[in-house]
Amino acid sequence: MSSVLQTLSVPAGPAAAAVLPTLDGALAGRGEALLPVPAGDDREIARLSDALHPGEPIDASIALVVATSGTTGIPKGAMLTAAALRASGEATHARLGGPGSWLLVLPPHHIAGLQVLLRGLLAGTEPVIVDVTTGFDPQALPAAISAMTGPRRYTSLVPTQLVKALDHPEATAALAELDAVMLGGAATPAPVLARAVDAGITVVRTYGMSETCGGCVYDGVPLNGVRVKIVEDGERSDERHRTGERSDERHRTGERSDERNRTGRVLLGGPVLASGYRGLPDHPAFAEPGWFRTDDAGMVTDGVLHVTGRLDEAISTGGLTVVPQVVEAALTDHPAVAECAVIGLPDPRLGQRVVAAVVPVTGATPTLAELRAHVEAVLDPTAAPRELHLLDALPLRGPGKVDRRALVARLSGAPHPED
């Protein structure tokens, strides 16, 4: 049995509330499958339509087709059933302490923004919506949060939004009033997390993607029904990997050689899982029944998932492999670094050289030499950046991920001082 995929034009700002009745029908499994698109953005609508084919048949069990942010530039459409969306929302409320009202400060057509609206519908509460079309303004948070009703209040942010909010005392105090601030979309620098916790903000770090109805692992612990498995490419998926058993084999991520936890590819399963990709029935990410094969590397220790970085972003330098996120975690611990991204650029001698793009703390001017020394104090010297670029802001894609492709294109022609 099939239906026809329809576009759902989602307005920005408070006008997004107009789609709530349609989303409520999707949660109940009523109506045609929906492809959320940003209202008024003709270029993005055309891009998504070309890739995901609204107006053509689709299995009747599908409620939403949510576009991935498209790291390759070509979006894929995660097909989500009503049952998967309900399982995600119900498991979220169970983990957070019960249903509540939600504040939306994310683009409402991406999975993270959609989930804020869907969770509110499940809870029977009206969302408070802030317009972020022209960017996130933390000064809007106090009034928005004061307009929220109880019994519990939640919001979702990406790390770049939290960084901005922490520089505004009123916004920080308002966030501290909430029962939970879910933080996802990208890795959260440890210093930012520490500042938030010190300010009394109840941060819940989330891990997931469109293919899992958004976040499905909170603070490293899977939601009810969600399964996590670690496998090494080319090996069978046995119970040893399910439990994150230690191994003597070391995955080279730039960490020192005393790291003995088994690291491999993260697989996710459970009732929140998408039913594959639109128009790609044989995609390898869904090749193993009941599992989604992510592009992330990680390990499970004592039941807690630790994601170390993306396998497809690894840098091969001098015959060794460096995972950018490991280096970024070290760099953001430096007092002069507000935000950073690490990429690999072509190098005639090394194959690729490790390059750091840094947004410095206001008034600071970190040098390559001091950042290299900082990284070498905790990681192998191979992981230390050989090139430094100071930027006003990092390019972003989707709701808050660093656009590494744009960063590579921007920095490829820039001068590169060698140490």
Angle, helices 368-376 vs 324-331, to 10°: value is 110
Is the pTM higher than 0.85? no
d(CA 246, CA 372): 30
Please answer whether residues 182 and 204 qualify as being in contact, where contact means their C-beta atoms are separated by less than 8 angstroms: yes
Within 10 angstroms of residue 409's Cβ, the number of other Cβ atoms is 11
The answer, yes or no, to whether residue 246 has pLDDT greater than 50, is no
Arch. (CATH architecture) of 227-268+282-308: Roll (2.30)
CATH number of the structural domain 2-216? 3.40.50.12780
Helix (H) or strand (E) holding 44: helix 42-52
Which segments within 6-125 are labelled E, that is strand? 6-10, 34-38, 57-59, 62-67, 77-81, 101-104
Please spell the DSSP secondary structure of 102-159, one letter per residue.
Answer: EEE-S-TTSHHHHHHHHHHHHHT-PPEE---TT---GGGHHHHHHT--SS-EEEEE-H
Per-residue model confidence (pLDDT) at position 233? 66
Query: For 383-405, what is the mean pLDDT?
Result: 87
Spatial distance between the Cα atoms of 63 and 79, rounded to a whole number of angstroms: 8
3-state secondary structure of 35: strand
Tokens describing residue 127: 């969302």
Tens of pLDDT, residue by residue over 278-291, are 999 999 999 999 99
Residues 350, 97: Cα–Cα separation, whole Å: 51
Q: Minimal CA–CA distance to 341: which of 351, 349, 354?
A: 354
The superfamily (CATH) of domain 314-411 is: ANL, C-terminal domain (3.30.300.30)
- Ordered by start, the domain boundaries in the chain are 2-216, 227-268+282-308, 314-411
The model's pLDDT over 68-118, given as tens digits with 9 standing for 90+, comes to 865 456 789 999 999 999 999 999 999 999 999 999 999 999 999 999 999
Q: In the prediction, which pLDDT does 239 show?
A: 34
pLDDT in tens, 305-355: 999 888 878 888 877 778 888 899 899 999 999 999 999 998 888 888 999
